[in-house]
Amino acid sequence: MNKTVSKVFMAADHRGVGLKLYLIEMLSALGYNVVNLGVDDPNISVDYPDVATTLADAMKDVPDSRGIIICGTGAGVMIAANRYRHIRASRCDNPTQARDDRFHDDTNVLALAADDIDIEVAFLCAQTFLESPFDAIERRIRRVEKIS
């Protein structure tokens, strides 16, 4: 477990509820401080931009936090979350991608596609995302500062 992650904020639209609840259970069991931002009812339609706003607002004043956000495709929540200057979200389909996005781009939000990813692969992506460091060398810091 990465002790430098203070909180893990998790949010999903109605299509991502099942995956979100599974990941909350698994990550909590590993000792992460997971904050469920909703939604928790797959029968109530929620617009993914609203879910991204909720996550971005929660993360704004918690600098050592990370976020995991889920919708059907993963693309909608990623695009919506990236509107916020303090968010660097990437959609990942495998743990290697999650590790590389953290290492190279200091991503702080993992976007997952509930409709397209195996639940165990999603857990491995989340775990890798939370455990992977940013390679804080000068050129990478400079690049991240240009987008943040």
Point out the residues that are catalytic. Answer: 71, 104
Complete DSSP assignment for the chain: --TT---EEEEE-GGGHHHHHHHHHHHHHTT--EEE-S---TTS---HHHHHHHHHHHHTT-TT-EEEEEESSSHHHHHHHTTSTT--EEE-SSHHHHHHHHHHH---EEEEETTTS-HHHHHHHHHHHHHPPP---HHHHHHHHHH-
